[in-house]
Amino acid sequence: MSTPHVDENLWVRQFHPAPAAATRLVCFPHAGGSAPYFLPVSKALSPGVDVLAIQYPGRQDRRQEKCVDNIADLADAVTAELLPWTDRPLVLFGHSMGATLAFEVALRLERKDIVPLALFASGRRAPSRYRDERVHQRSDDEIIQELKALSGTSSEVLGNEEILRMAMPAIRGDYTAAETYRHTGGARLSAPIHVHYGTEDPRVSREEAEAWAEHTSGRFDIQSHPGGHFYLNDEGPRVIQAIARVCSAATT
């Protein structure tokens, strides 16, 4: 199988091209996150799985671009960028805000008769469950405190005032997108949904995680892990194994 010819794609990053892989995994970062967060995933699954990571506007090499602070608009843009990569079956994985975005992208793909093999939703409540969260309206300092509380940003970045201030528009934009998102209701995936969450995550209760079952007519399962919102930092290998099993089953 050949890799689609996509010149200078700012949205889709491929760290370890796997031209012989039968399936592709598309990774969606959390709020304030970026594509390189998934380097360990790409390294672990290549060459058996072709791993792609989405790079949102407003960060790193895209920091001069305006952030997209609306999930629907972001999902429209990502879906369009992913279409050239749908020559192989896709598995979607998203963490936190990325899980919501991955769900919306999966809906859009299915409307085009491109049904993902599975959606992995990590560290995020179901689209139909809401909380009155307004982190995006706080001061820069208060947002930084939120990041520290969730331990979602490396200590190196959190300790660098200049880097944080440069990243703040992207962080605030992502929080705006995540916190103002409202599921329109009705549409469900036919793709299976696999949910993973941390048992000590203040952002996701067991009930909110289980509610993902309402969003698919296909298979649903849920796995808890020790840890908080970024349980992935320690439990990543277990989640990667779960993804690998789904990808492997699709080729046998």
The reply to whether 96 belongs to the active site is: yes
Cα(74)–Cα(96) distance, integer angstroms: 15
> What b/e string do you get for 6-29 counting C-beta neighbours within 10 Å, with b at 16 or more?
eeeeebbbbbbebeebbbbbbbbb
- Whether the CB-CB separation of 134 and 210 falls below 8 Å is answered with no
8-state DSSP, 122: E
Pairing label, strands 50-54, 12-13: antiparallel
- Whether the CB-CB separation of 50 and 14 falls below 8 Å is answered with yes
Of 34, 42, 96, 122, which is the active-site residue? 96
Cα–Cα distances (Å) from 202 to 11, 103, 152, 174, in that order, read 30, 21, 13, 18
Q: Active-site residues: which are they?
A: 96
